Chain A
Amino acid sequence: MEQEIKVLLDRFYEGQTTLEEEKKLQLFFAAPLLSEEMAFEKAYFSQILQARKESLSTKVAAASVAQLETTTPKIRRLYWPLQVAASVIMLIAGYWMGRQNGVTHSAAGEAYVAPRAGNLLSLDYQNSSSASDRILVLNQLSDSGPGDDLTLQQVINTLHFDPNVNVRMAALNTLQPVAKKRVAADALIRALSIEKDPIIQVSLIETISRLKDKRAVESLRKLSEDSNNLELVREMARQAASVIDAGQLFV
């Protein structure tokens, strides 16, 4: 027996033994040894058996798989503190706009503005009409939808070029329900590179990340790299870009 083991060991050290022969060695060395001669091999094979028993704790094992379940939707969502931050900003902006809007409402009345929607929004009128009038028009449009292409184009122009932040925000809100339209999506993506106001940037990023439009990635990247932008905005843009990137691969 011992002679056979010695022959096997010689081959073992040359890397020539089969798995079966190695099993035989393990068995042999699992029994008590009479001689000290092969003490190393005894220790070696017993260490191997010991090492094989080591396993990942069940807690960690469960967590490893559980983390995957949570990452599946996470890929499509923004980091939650950012979501919270964004909604707070939106709330404040909404409240502020709501107040301004309310004032106009009582002063002007809905019926008065509606027929002049096109005029009020056209670029020529931006300097002469009041911001609150324009917001009112946009709010009405967002209830009824921008309708024809001309009106849609005017809303887009407003989003891109209106000097007043609140008006641009209202334009964005008007565009949101139709954001799936290509024209609107293009406009939103373009607005990313034009817009400098963080509140609107945040809303834009949120809207666009929901669209999952690959064409937005480039603009989002630029936004995230521009050090003039707020850190929050840059972080959101970066995340949205990776969300869209990731989304593209798995859709």
Chain B
Amino acid sequence: MDLKSFSKRIIPIQSRLYRIARMYLPVIQDAEDMVQDTFLKLWNRRHDLDRYESLEALAVQTVRNGCLDKIKSHGYSKTISGDAVMERTETGQTPHQEIENNNNEELIRRLISKLPEPQRLIIHLRDVEEYSFEEIESVTQLEINNIRVILSRARKKIKEEYLKYHRYGTRD
């Protein structure tokens, strides 16, 4: 695969890859680096990319694995305070409706990123990226029925945690 046809297929999905990376990595810079890394990794495999039915599915897998490796890598979670995202929420106790809404969105974003794998990937792919179940299947290699179950759990969990937060003000 030459650079031209590679770019043609990868450029349209780069923001999507970025959003997925962002879901795993709280720091923007890290997510950007991850997208660049992914491009390189795929480009280095360009000779056998044609074997894959969907470059996008492969790219999503690559980003996800890269992010999981990074999270697992020594000290990453220590250097990144998981609550960094949350700070705004804590200070945002004003009654102003707009701020309240923003905080709720931020809260939901954080709740999604705290879900276990593969729940967070699946809920993100479905709800944010609007993937069909078939597309999710090709990324996760899970059966569609199984995907539905996982998605259902993830959605319920987010709601449950959200309500818990608002009822008790607990953050975890």
Nearest Cβ distance between residue A182 and chain B, in whole angstroms?
27
For window 34-74 of chain A, which residues contact chain B by CB distance below 8 Å? 39-40, 43-44, 46-48, 50-52, 54-57, 60-61, 63-65, 67-69, 71-72
> Across the interface, do B105 and A50 meet the contact criterion of CB distance under 8 Å?
yes
Given A46-B101, A48-B127, A57-B32, verify A68-B158 contact (CB < 8 Å). Answer: no
> Across the interface, do B108 and A67 meet the contact criterion of CB distance under 8 Å?
no
Chain A 1-44, CB-CB to B under 8 Å as 1, else 0, gives: 00000000000111110010010000000000000000110011
B24 at the interface (CB under 8 A from A): no
CA distance A72 to B115 in the complex (A): 39
Chain B residues with CB under 8 Å of A22's CB are: 127, 130
Chain A interface residue bracket vs B = 20 to 34
> With A40-B163, A47-B105, A55-B18 given, can you name 13 additional A-B contacts, CB distance below 8 Å?
A15-B149, A22-B130, A40-B162, A44-B162, A51-B19, A51-B109, A55-B15, A56-B18, A60-B32, A60-B35, A60-B36, A68-B6, A250-B47
What are some 25 contacts across the A-B interface (CB < 8 A)? A12-B155, A13-B159, A14-B152, A15-B148, A15-B150, A15-B155, A19-B132, A40-B159, A43-B108, A47-B109, A54-B19, A54-B22, A55-B18, A56-B18, A56-B35, A61-B11, A61-B15, A63-B36, A64-B39, A65-B7, A65-B10, A67-B39, A71-B44, A72-B3, A250-B46
